[in-house]
Amino acid sequence: MFGHAKPRAGRTRTAVLGAAIAAVLGACGGDTADLQNPGAGWPPSPAVTGHRGASALRPEHTLASYLQAIDDGADIIEPDLVATKDGVLVARHENDITGTTNVAQA
């Protein structure tokens, strides 16, 4: 109406997902960084990694899964990120999506 482009739903979803992931990762923070000795004490030994969150208890790569992993004591959340053809990062375990989508038929 005023010459502004209508935001695409995909960009909105990406922004919301990015904000959610940033919030979850921010919640993982602890003490203030030691600027004189970067990396000191990180990762803790041994480090507990939530691979795809707490995928045994919640759907993997969801905010619920990441929060569950943090509640269960994960020091690190390790998502599997795959780049799409247009360069968008998607949290997904497999690189090939033809086995779980109808993309091959399109």
> Position of tokens 């990015």?
18
Residue 61 appears among annotated catalytic residues: no
Phi, psi of 26 (to 5 degrees): -65, -35
CB 81 within 8 A of CB 91: yes
Out of 17, 20, 24, 51, pick the active-site residue.
51
Indicate if 93 belongs to the active site: yes
Active-site residue, selected from the candidate residues 56, 93, 101, 103: 93
**Catalytic machinery residues:** 51, 93
